[in-house]
Amino acid sequence: MARIYDVVCPRCGEIMQWCKYDSPFDRCGFCNYKLSWGECWKDDVCIFGVGATNLDVWSVANSIRRGFFDERPRGFRFGLPDRRICAVKMRDYRTYTFTVKAGGVKVTFVYDTCHLAPVAERLREDATLPLQDLAEIIYRGTSYPRNRLIARRFVEAVRLNVKPEHVALIGEHM
């Protein structure tokens, strides 16, 4: 039976699941911090074994993550494939905003999750966002609830880098 360990990134506090029979992760999925050298973890990586409780893991990850975002008052920034910039800000430990320009206009996606790597990896890869854990979308001062149809149109606008009004069906629901 495989043992699953919790690995906490020492830079951003992202929690990842790791099996001891797999090779170590090369980089953090959110902040892209190098976590290992070949088959060995770096010394600063926090690995919690079988006896660790969720509270132990959460408290370490929370303190690291708060420090990470406190050092970056304008948010953590990373590039998209088409050279646009995405800014990530922390509201609280479980709520984060991802702000991206679509057609020159800012669109903010609010996620209610503490696992940021899946969102950041999808944005870096093909400028799309997962709809799972999406809480709301803020566009031109208006908040849109988590409606799948509207959310897909906003994600499509970000992917195509056009204003959301130019994507079919958003105009009908606005």
Convert the pLDDT of each residue in 12-62 to its tens digit: 999 999 998 999 999 999 999 999 998 999 999 999 987 788 899 999 999
- Across 77-85, average pLDDT: 95
- Looking at the structure, tell me whether residues 62 and 143 fall in a common domain: no
- Looking at the structure, tell me whether residues 83 and 167 fall in a common domain: yes
pTM for the model: 0.89
- Looking at the structure, tell me whether residues 66 and 109 fall in a common domain: no
- Looking at the structure, tell me whether residues 92 and 126 fall in a common domain: yes
Tell me the chain's radius of gyration from C-alpha atoms: 18
Domain boundary among 21, 43, 70: 70
Name the band, by pLDDT with cuts 50, 70 and 90, for residue 99.
Answer: very high
- Looking at the structure, tell me whether residues 167 and 81 fall in a common domain: yes
Long-range contacts of 66-73 (CB under 8 A, 24+ apart): 66/13, 66/90, 66/93, 68/11, 68/12, 68/13, 68/31
**Bridge-based pairing state of the strands 46-48 and 4-8:** antiparallel
Please report, rounded to a whole number, the percentage of residues in the chain having pLDDT higher than 90: 77
Domain boundary among 43, 70, 97: 70
- Looking at the structure, tell me whether residues 84 and 105 fall in a common domain: yes
Q: How far is CA 28 from CA 13, 43, 121, 165, in A?
A: 10, 15, 10, 35
Residues 6+ apart with CB under 8 A from 36: 23, 24, 25, 26, 42, 45
Using CB atoms within 10 A of its CB, is residue 17 exposed (0-12), middle (13-18) or buried (19+)? exposed
Using CB atoms within 10 A of its CB, is residue 172 exposed (0-12), middle (13-18) or buried (19+)? exposed
Which element (helix H / strand E) includes 149? helix 148-160
Please name every residue paired with 40 in a beta bridge, in sequence order, or none if there are none. 37
Domain boundary among 36, 51, 70: 70
Whether residue 7 is predicted with pLDDT greater than 80 in this model: the reply is yes
- Looking at the structure, tell me whether residues 94 and 166 fall in a common domain: yes
Domain hosting 59: range is: 4-70
Whether residue 3 is predicted with pLDDT greater than 80 in this model: the reply is no
Number of structural domains (the chain) is 2
Tokens describing residue 66: 């708060």
Question: CA nearest 102: which of 148, 146, 154?
Answer: 154
- Looking at the structure, tell me whether residues 66 and 106 fall in a common domain: no
- Tens of pLDDT, residue by residue over 127-162, are 999 999 999 999 999 999 888 888 998 999 999 999
The pLDDT of residue 93 is 83
Whether residue 172 is predicted with pLDDT greater than 70 in this model: the reply is no
The pLDDT of residue 1 is 55
Whether residue 164 is predicted with pLDDT greater than 90 in this model: the reply is no
